[in-house]
Amino acid sequence: MWGKDKSKKVDFDRHAGKTTMIAQGTQLNGDIIFEGGLLVEGTIRGNVKAEPGSDALLRLSEVGCIEGEIDVPNVVINGKVTGDVFSSGHVELASKAVVNGNVHYNLIEMVMGSEVNGSLVHDQHEEAKNPKSESSSVIELGDKAKSKAKDPASATAGKEESA
């Protein structure tokens, strides 16, 4: 938007020569581990994961469907996902996106019309790959915040002890 760094936008062209396509009408049963770009217009019944340390991109077209967990740094969804999404980079939910599961993201872009039937969980870079540690810390932080809000004396006592 205003002054936004356009270089952060997900660009499928940067994976030229390393792009795999699952065509419309194709059904794949099993997990996929890839590097580069993956364009899905068919159906995948299994988990989709990028090679560790890669800057991979998954693009799910509006006719595509993934039934399983997604663990990819950069994700553009315009189809249907049944499962959790983990992204340490950028998630883009286009107008026809339907995600039935939780979305763990570092940066997210949602277009009007996209749908998430689950939680949106903001993670920092590497935390996106370990859902147990950040989920528990979200709960712990929430509980600590509630206890401090209910008892102002305990909040000031904590500050005195740390000083």
Q: What is the mean pLDDT of residues 40-55?
A: 96
Q: What is the mean pLDDT of residues 114-138?
A: 66
Q: What is the mean pLDDT of residues 61-80?
A: 98
The first and second tokens of residue 98, run together, are 């339907």
Q: What is the pLDDT of residue 18?
A: 82
pLDDT at 60 over 80: yes
Residue 89's CB is within 10 A of a number of other CB atoms, namely 19
Q: Given CA atoms 115, 105, 67, 25 in this order, what sign does their dihedral have?
A: positive
Q: What is the DSSP string of 51-83?
A: PTT---EEEE-TT-EEES-EE-SEEEE-SEEES
Q: What is the DSSP string of 96-149?
A: T-EEES-EEESEEEE-TT-EESS-EEE--GGGGG-HHHHHHHHHHHHHHHHHHH
Tell me the percentage of the chain whose pLDDT exceeds 70.
66
Q: What is the pLDDT of residue 12?
A: 52
Question: Residues 125-148, buried b or exposed e (16+ Cβ, 10 A)?
Answer: eebbbebeebbeeeeeeeeeeeee
- Radius of gyration in angstroms for the set of CA atoms belonging to the chain, rounded to a whole number: 19
Strand pairing partners for 160? none
Task: Look up residue 14 and give its amino acid.
Answer: R
- Torsions phi, psi of 59, nearest 5? -120, 120
Least confident range of 2-11, 54-63, 64-73, 141-150: 141-150
